[in-house]
């Protein structure tokens, strides 16, 4: 788990987390999709 979280170091900050939360809370997007799309965008996951 430490390795997985270390990949987010410097990638996920407070403002980005707020943006992702907004997509879930206000735009009613699925949390798993929001997280997946972000991780793909950052190159942590493959499509």
- 43: alpha, beta or left, given left = phi > 0 and alpha = psi -120 to 50? left
pLDDT of residue 7: 79
Please indicate, yes or no, if residue 46 is contained in any of the structural domains. no
pLDDT of residue 35: 96
Domains of the chain: total: 1
- Cα distance between residue 29 and residue 21, in whole Å: 9
Please indicate, yes or no, if residue 47 is contained in any of the structural domains. no
Please indicate, yes or no, if residue 12 is contained in any of the structural domains. yes
Please indicate, yes or no, if residue 21 is contained in any of the structural domains. yes
Please indicate, yes or no, if residue 6 is contained in any of the structural domains. yes
Report the pLDDT averaged over residues 41-47. Answer: 90
Please indicate, yes or no, if residue 36 is contained in any of the structural domains. yes
pLDDT of residue 26: 99
Structural domain including 23 reads: 2-41
pLDDT of residue 30: 99
- At 1-39, the pLDDT tens digits run 888 788 788 898 999 999 999 999 999 999 999 999 999
């Amino acid at each position: 788990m430490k390795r997985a979280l270390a990949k987010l170091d410097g990638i996920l900050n407070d403002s980005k987390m707020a943006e992702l939360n907004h997509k879930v809370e206000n735009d009613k997007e699925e949390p798993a999709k929001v997280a997946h799309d972000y991780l793909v965008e950052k190159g942590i996951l493959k499509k």
